[in-house]
Chains A and B, each alone.
Chain A
Amino acid sequence: MNQFKTILKFEYFGYVRTKAFIITTVLFFVIVAAASSLPMFINAFNSIRGDADISAASDDEPSMNALIASPSAIFTDEVLSAYLPGYMWTRADNIDNAWEAIESGDYDLALRIDGLNYTAYERTTSLITQGSQHAINFMIKDVYQREFLDGRGFAADEIDHVLHSHPIGEIIVVGTDYTQTFWIGYVMMILMFFAMILYGQFVSTSVVVEKSSKAMELLITSAKPFQLMMGKVLGVGMAGLTQFGAILLAAFVFIRLNQASWNDFNPAVAAIMEMSMSGSLILLALLFFLFSFFSYAFVLAGFACTASRMEELQTIALIPTLIAVATFYVAIAGSMMPDAAYVKICSFIPMLSPMLMFMRICIADVPIAEIIAACAINAAAIFAFAFVCSRIYKVGVMLYGKKPRVKDILRYAFKS
């Protein structure tokens, strides 16, 4: 136990005391804090621009030209300007040459309406400007309904009442509010994936440095390989998670501080921040996050043990990286059908389990026994990965300078 503590301390402080670690942590903290305060900066920028600009912009003078062809007289200039502001309308018998007219730049929109049917040609410069369909649909439907009701003798205020009455109410959720926890599961899934990919490499790099610097032989005569591997992965992993924690803290604190600005800027982000997590969900989130990170870190460390030089690491780390990516995609697919048999099975398979089980917990009723079973499987898997990893690590001494073959690795690992 003392050796384990010594190794953990050495590995942890070996990382967090380096200049590179301190600089990147501070840099990430500042970038994330700035990004989390973005709406505040935008508001400040807008207020500096002054009222003149805003009033100029709000005049809303039509700046684009549009062509309309319709046998119906309902679509008057007033109607068109009300539903599709920003266009200067020109009437035509047909829009047969609309393509050329728009391509040449004479018009930005050409619209032919025949009853409830319509065809439109639209000039577009980006996805943002490509947005007339909804407005056209609304205009034709609204005008059609008004005409219909008007024909049956309804007064204008009655028509408005019928067409624009909206129910107001709320649903009080009894039990888990899955619309909230779904987003928590989704955010956690992304965090797990990023932690694995970003900080898993801390562990694998550390193993390869030890091998390439040839410190291994001295180490395994000074401590048990299992303790070395546990201390290394937990120590380096904790260093990575320290940085990750600092980044998350920056995001959390600065989004909270700018909550009002976020409400205007992006209500979805503000809504996620306003969600409340129960104590048990926080505990499970933390537990499955650690399961996810450390199972991946041990597997990655095991693969890294077979590399003698840093250049070999990228190729060797490809398999665990693909596993992490596959896990992420299975979890995304699983979030759409949490009760599917394959999702349930995968939520008990080591490496896949942390993401999938937590996602299941967030979007469906999972029996407590299944959660306990998943926790036990993950803990046992991490222990098993650490054991196998330490065997491969010890074998690494015999594989200096040789290209590792899976057959040799396994033979030496389980014979020694």
Chain B
Amino acid sequence: MRIELEGINKSFGSNHVLKDLGFSAKSGKAFGLLGRNGSGKTTTIRIIMGIFPQDSGRVSINGGNYKDNRNTIGYLPEERGLYPKRVIIDQMVYFGELRGMKSGAAKKRAEMLLEKLEATEYLNRKLDTLSKGNQQKIQLAISLITDPDILILDEPFSGLDPVNAGLLKSLVQDMVTAGKLVIFCSHQMASVEELCDDICIIEKGRIVLSGELAKIKKTYPRNRILIAPESTDFADVQRRLQASPDIRDISTGIEIAKKGCVITLKNELDKLRLFTAVNGMNVSIDTFQVMEPTLEEIFIEKAGGGNEPV
């Protein structure tokens, strides 16, 4: 399975929302579609789902369009909701039937999914009797009712407690392992970083960064070194590191982090000089580690640290 977008443009009145957008995502991977609020992520997904058409450009799913592949895509929209006064199993079977399943098969699949999501007890309850988080689990189960090859999740973690977020993550990992494609839209960078192989960052309707997350990280300077001392008095270690003329000479700053002190080097090639200097200071250390940039840092750099919260 492969989704490809090429030269997508979309305007709402005078507002040009997507500008020549293009990316591709394929099976066996989790793909993160990232961007600030209003950057065009949901519009992109709605175009993929055929909710409204693009003004120009092409969307293809395995070479065909969305309508030909409707039943192979599971979708959890950002604006989500179901019928509050209807019994959950009826709603799940209904959506299964709408997507071409037989009633009996849809019921079996619904029961299996609810068991997997630890929600079997809600099978015969009305939706509005459930908490918001549990309602979200039901919506997730509905997006999986046809056992889709592609799963598109728009802000899937919003409203989920850590336990349910963990359930969702393991479900996504299972899908990826099973060779399926999962596309994420989320603001929760830590979760995306944990799950996604490929990412695409959109800013004001344009792609500002896309590719394999591991490779992207490698393109960033690796000039931040974590020094985790045996002692827990990180402030004392920071003072001693700052006092060293050798370290002052090669670094731009020393900060206290969760696990120790982080030294930012002027030149990433000075790692050995730093190691020698630290050794000479008689500071006993547990860890000397070159730090990779986090997805959040990459995101802030690419999507801009403007006024809007990310």
Question: Hey, which bits of chain A sit against chain B, CB under 8 A?
Answer: 2-3, 6-7, 10, 14, 18, 209-210, 213-215, 217-223, 394, 397-398, 400, 412, 416
Contacts and interface: CB of A to CB of B under 8 A. Distances in A.
Contacts of B81: 213-215, 218
Contacts of A209: 83-85
Contacts of B97: 2-3, 6
A215 B82 contact: yes
A217 B83 contact: no
Contacts of B80: 214, 217-218
Contact of B79 (A10, A14, A217): A217
A214 B98 contact: no
A218 B75 contact: yes
A334 B116 CA distance: 65
Contacts, number: 67
Scoring A14, A217, A398, A400 by chain B CB atoms within 10 A of each residue's CB, the highest score goes to A217
A394 to B, nearest CB: 7
A218 B50 contact: no
Nearest to B77: A217
Contacts of A223: 98
Contacts of A10: 90, 94
B81 to A, nearest CB: 3
Contacts of B90: 10
B52 A416 contact: yes
Interface in B76-123: 77, 79-86, 90, 94-95, 97-100
Contacts of B139: 218
Scoring B79, B82, B98 by chain A CB atoms within 10 A of each residue's CB, the highest score goes to B98
A221 B75 contact: yes
B70 interface: yes
A221 B94 contact: no
21 contacts: A3-B97, A3-B98, A18-B85, A213-B81, A213-B83, A214-B77, A215-B81, A215-B82, A217-B79, A218-B75, A218-B77, A218-B81, A218-B139, A220-B51, A221-B70, A221-B77, A394-B51, A397-B52, A398-B12, A398-B52, A400-B79
Interface of B: 12, 46, 49-53, 70, 73, 75, 77, 79-86, 90, 94-95, 97-100, 139, 142
B83 A397 contact: no
Given A10-B90, A218-B142, A394-B51, 10 more contacts: A10-B94, A214-B77, A214-B81, A217-B77, A217-B79, A217-B80, A218-B82, A218-B139, A219-B98, A222-B99
A222 B95 contact: yes
B79 A214 contact: yes
A222 B75 CA distance: 9
Main secondary structure of the interface of B (DSSP, over half): loop
Contacts of B83: 14, 209-210, 213, 215
A6 B98 contact: yes
Contact of A221 (B50, B82, B100): B50
Contacts of A412: 52
A269 to B, nearest CB: 40
Contacts of A215: 81-83
A394 B100 CA distance: 21
B179 to A, nearest CB: 23
Contacts of B50: 221
Nearest to A3: B98
Contacts of B94: 6, 10
B86 A14 contact: yes
A213 B85 CA distance: 10
Contacts of A220: 51
Contact of A222 (B12, B52, B86, B98): B98
A81 B83 CA distance: 74
A221 B53 contact: no
Nearest to B49: A221
A412 B12 CA distance: 9
A214 B75 CA distance: 14
A397 B78 CA distance: 11
B52 A213 contact: no
A123 B75 CA distance: 78
A7 B98 contact: yes
B53 A416 contact: yes
B51 A218 contact: no
Contacts of A2: 97, 100
A217 B51 contact: yes
Scoring B46, B51, B53, B84 by chain A CB atoms within 10 A of each residue's CB, the highest score goes to B51
